[in-house]
Amino acid sequence: MKQYNIVVAGTGYVGLVTGVCLAEKGHKVTCVDVNQEKIDYMKKGKSPIYEKDLEELMIKNKDRLNYTTDSASIYKSADVIFIGVGTPEKKDGSANLKYVYKVAKEIAQSLEKDCIIVIKSTVPIGTNKKIEKYIRSNLKNDVDVELVSNPEFLSQGTAVHDTLHAQRIVIGVKSKNAEKIMREVYDPFEVEYVITDRESAEMIKYASNDFLALKISYINEIANLCEIVGANITDVAKGMGLDSRIGNKFLNAGIGYGGSCFPKDTKALNWLGNFYDYELKTVKAAIEVNENQKIKLIKKARKYYESFEGINVAVLGLSFKPNTDDLREAPSLDCIPILLDDGAKIKAYDPVAENNYKKIYPTEIEYCKSVEDTLKDADICFIFTEWDFVKEMDISLFKKLMAKPIVLDGRNCFDLNKVKNERIIYESIGRKLIDNI
């Protein structure tokens, strides 16, 4: 395996996972961040984000991993620099590229040798070309640079596995030399390559994420109709998923998608289409459906309580999905403010996301350490996240502990046949109402 001096700029989900996984495959990697406290934390083998297997690999590969804030001295001798900084959503839906440009300028002013610069962050189509021009115009030394588009396809909660066992590696280049170097970097991964131009590579990322988001919104709309006509979305999705042309992934009905990718990427592509006077009707519809879906449980709850004033509410799960502490675009952040504004008394349990939620609601919510404490004396229960502790819990606890066993399950965590044996009011998404009281 050919060794390159690899640097990764940014230590969030994309940057840190990329750096650690490259080290796991035998490369020596330096991860750069502006936050010294964060760097010191990582030097101890601790991950600043909750991600399965990440800390274990940081410790395992500590001799191949370095962490620093001294970007100038690290960039100057790098062979390959991966840019993995955030591209958050602006108010108009477009991607904010200020962090990408900031890193690009630091690289340009530091380089002392030819370098391949790889944009791993999700960026609008045409960004690699613009950043390359920007770097060239800011170079302090006579060196050659080439930008490569290499989008990531990881999911939070399974990011390490998704990177180490990628289904494909997309590389957008404009020269054979850049292609050769990228193939050598990724050679240990033993996976199929998609080699294309940079604009197509950038579009592959957006087209992939937006298609999955559309698939989720579509099954949620079908689920909503199932409730009206008396069909069961679980059976419908199974029947659809067995068709190889459709597949069974992303057909789990619920209260919408969240996280750092789908909401941001659908809005960014929609914005880009509008910018060029082209309406992406399907993407626009996926966004609208998802926004409405996130408060579906609140609408269901209004059947039981016109007002939540003084109502004891139990919340199971706060993060947007299980196995992550990420709250970005989590449905709980849409629903809990409504409940609080209406006067509800909320107790919540999430084994991982609690600390992040406390940054938003430090005192307004009572945070519990168990399902039992959360459910005790509750008048209604909302399930926002399909954590294993929820799916595996004893369903009889709802009846035993709650003052009024009304359970609104936004993730279809329980088998309807099992719920039938319990004397509770249970509503899920796209499945027939169960009322056994």
Per-residue confidence (pLDDT) for residue 432, from 0 to 100: 81
Integer Cα distance of 164 and 90 in angstroms: 31
- Residue 292's pLDDT band (boundaries 50, 70, 90)? very high
pLDDT over 90 (residue 108): yes
* pLDDT tens-digit readout, 161-181: 999 999 999 999 999 999 999
Q: In this predicted structure, what is the pLDDT of residue 114? A: 97
User: How many residues are there in the chain?
Assistant: 437
Q: Flag whether pLDDT at 436 surpasses 80.
A: no
How is residue 38 written in tokens? 């964060």
Long-range contacts of 333-337 (CB under 8 A, 24+ apart): 333/360, 334/294, 334/295, 335/294, 335/295, 335/297, 335/298, 335/382, 335/384, 336/361, 336/365
Going by pLDDT thresholds of 50, 70 and 90, the confidence category of residue 9 is: very high
Answer whether residue 421 shows pLDDT above 60. yes
Please tell me the distance from the alpha carbon of residue 58 to that of residue 12, in angstroms, as a whole number. Answer: 14
The predicted-structure confidence for 21-57, as pLDDT tens digits, reads as follows 999 999 999 999 999 999 999 999 999 999 999 999 9
What pLDDT does residue 282 have?
A: 98
Instruction: Name the DSSP class of 89.
Output: B
List pLDDT tens digits, range 127-151. Answer: 999 999 999 999 999 999 999 999 9
Q: Is the pLDDT of residue 435 over 80?
A: no
Confidence of residue 3 (pLDDT cuts 50, 70, 90): confident
Residue 203, CB-side half-sphere exposure with 13 Å CA sphere: 8
Q: Give the mean pLDDT of 264-268.
A: 96
Task: Enumerate domains of the chain plus CATH numbers.
Answer: 6-196 (3.40.50.720), 205-293 (1.10.1040.10), 296-435 (3.40.50.720)
Least confident of 50-64, 187-201, 217-231, 420-434: 420-434
Residue-wise pLDDT tens digits, 353-374: 999 999 999 999 999 999 999 9
Q: What is the sign of the dihedral through the CA atoms of 334, 339, 341 and 345?
A: negative
- Residue 434: the pLDDT is 58
Do β-strands 366-367 and 380-383 pair in parallel, antiparallel, or remain unpaired? unpaired
- Range of lowest pLDDT (92-101, 274-283, 417-426): 417-426
* Separation CA 271–CA 278 (nearest Å): 10
What tokens does 393 get? 């819990």
Write down the number of H helices and E strands in the chain.
Answer: 19, 15
| Whole-structure pTM value | 0.94
C-alpha torsion 249→287→428→323, nearest 10: 60
- pLDDT for the residue 437: 57
Q: How confident is the model at residue 433 (pLDDT cuts 50, 70, 90)?
A: low
The percentage of the chain sitting over the pLDDT mark of 90, rounded to a whole number, equals: 97
| CA neighbours closer than 13 Å in the CB half-sphere of residue 92 | 8
380 pLDDT above the threshold of 90: yes
Q: What share of the chain is helix, strand, coil (3-state, %, to 5)?
A: 45, 15, 45
| DSSP helix/strand/coil, 21 | helix
pLDDT digits (tens, 9 = 90+) for 79-89: 999 999 999 99
Burial of 288 (0-12, 13-18, 19+ CB in 10 A): exposed
Q: Report pLDDT for 261.
A: 92
Give the active site residue among 261, 335, 381, 413.
Answer: 261
pLDDT at 1: 81
> What confidence score (pLDDT) does residue 79 get?
97
Mean pLDDT of the chain: 96
261 catalytic per annotation? yes
pLDDT of 303: 94
Instruction: List residues bridging with 263 in a β-sheet.
Output: none
pLDDT of the residue at 265: 96
